[in-house]
Amino acid sequence: MTKAGSTVAVEENGLNVISEAERTARPAGLFWPWFGANVSVLGLSYGSFTLAFGLSFWQALAAGVVGILFSFLLCGLVAVAGKRGSAPTMVLSRAAFGVRGNRLPSAVSWVLTVGWETVLVTLATLATATVFDRLGWGGGTGTKVAALVAVSVLTVAAGVAGYGLIMRLQTVITVVTGVLTLAYVGLVADEIRWERVSALPSGSAQEVLGALVFVMTGFGLGWVNTAADYSRYLPRRTHGRAVVGWTTFGASAAPLVLLVFGLLLAGSSPGLSAAVAADPIGALTTLLPLWFLVPFAVVAVLGLIGGAVLDIYSSGLAMLAVGVRVPRYVAAAIDGALMIAGTVALVFFADDFLGAFMGFLTTLGVPIAAWCGIVLADLARRSRPYDDADLFRREGRYGDVRALPVTLLACATAVGWGLVTNSGASWLTWQGYLLDPVGLGGRTGTWAAANLGVLAALALGFLATLPFSPRGGPGR
């Protein structure tokens, strides 16, 4: 639905179930939003992030490929709920947690999506300033403010307009960014020094696992709580395999290519790898000729906007699912204001971007992994579409607050936080409190960097929910 008489169509669908007349999308159409949101050159920087765990090229490649594919497969599986229930992700999870019980995971989802959109707009702002500085056009405070305003306006406008504009915008971003990214790869390919890459020393199994979990939280687990927001416009007769396939393929195709090339670049230049920690996108410009800096700015900013747009749309839906009673487009605008405030803090006041970024991903990755396990177990036991009305009725079949899933989410999160560490973020040193009691060497032991807590929360959520979820049945 759109606002009548508006110059720009503004979607009025919020938490409601999408009407049958509007469920006209095709599974292949899922490729565009997911590819557009993940084709960002930030994927190149993950090569540096992954090698920072102390891995060889082949270890980092294995950890990255498995982490990307598995985490986006989780997105594809959650997206199946969208075509079954035709409602946003954080409404459909009411079937597992209860109508009001679901407010807890909705709040976590809201914080995660607002955080991600803030990170992406921050990176776009920093990248623009770096490009302008190299061109001699000034990369100081004025440039950063102008870049922040321009990126924020486009992101918030698309989030407020909603599904229709986002789908069209993501198609454009996919084409433009895809072409320019290939051009970037071609221009810097001669910077690769295989003799240096192949000589990187190997890391331990624990470090490989830590890198894998980091990649999971940076890619698919950062999207899994929004995965049904776009598949809800599919007809319910759509095959689930098509939903899983197109979501997973669209989301993982670009990151896989970018990660491999990023590993080769970072492994060839320790200096570049270190610079990426401070400015993950801008550091990549040091390899480019001046004439390509403007096209690079376009590809970097558009790719980051592609992700931020999906996040601000879903963060607005998550805010509504928490219980805030405003129209969807107002929620998106409120989140936009929070995004801008967070970007200002990161761009102008934060000293260490990578430490804060890794701490953010791991900390919120734990409860989201637990939520994902619970929802996937619940979805696996339901073979029929959801009951539309009962998703909104506390006295319906899904209940008000389902004690077991809510308690399990809290317990799995507590266990998960006890098994992860964040040495790069001083405000998170309280984590890892279970590593010593369970015999894993404490916060300084060999398992400290493995971030087992994310996998533990995912497995605990799934395995503890599966035996108790209702099986089959209409609307179950």
Give me the residues paired with residue 386 across strands. Answer: 475
Give yes or no for a contact between 333 and 401, defined as CB atoms under 8 angstroms apart: no
- Domain parsing of the chain, residue ranges: 31-468
Name the token pair of 366. Answer: 């734990």
3 state SS of 100: coil
**Structural tokens at position 374:** 């619970």
pLDDT at 203: 93
d(CA 225, CA 81): 11
Handedness of CA 322, 29, 258, 143 (dihedral sign): negative
Higher pLDDT, 265 or 4: 265
Give pTM, 2 decimals.
Answer: 0.87
211 has a pLDDT exceeding 90: yes
Residue 454's alpha-carbon distances to 201, 414, 419, in angstroms, are 26, 11, 8
CB–CB of 293/185 below 8 Å? no
Average pLDDT over residues 446-451: 87
- DSSP H helical ranges for 383-422: 403-418
Measured distance CA(318)–CA(90) in Å, rounded:
6
- Tens digit of each residue's pLDDT (9 = 90 or more) over 106-151: 999 999 899 888 888 888 888 888 888 888 877 788 888 888 898 8
Interhelix angle for 353-380 vs 103-135, to 10°? 140
Judged against a pLDDT cut of 60, whether residue 463 lies above it is answered with: yes
Per-residue model confidence (pLDDT) at position 355: 66
Q: How many Å apart are CA 432 and CA 441, to the nearest integer?
A: 10
DSSP 287: G
Write b or e for each residue in 82-111: b if 16 or more Cβ atoms lie within 10 A of its Cβ, otherwise e. bbbbbbbbbbbbbbbbbbebbbbbbbbbbb
Task: Summarize the confidence of residues 65-93 as an average pLDDT.
Answer: 95
Q: What pLDDT does residue 1 have? A: 42
308-334 average pLDDT score: 89
CATH assignment, 31-468: 1.10.4160.10
**Tens digit of each residue's pLDDT (9 = 90 or more) over 345-388:** 888 877 666 667 767 777 888 999 999 999 999 998 877 788 99
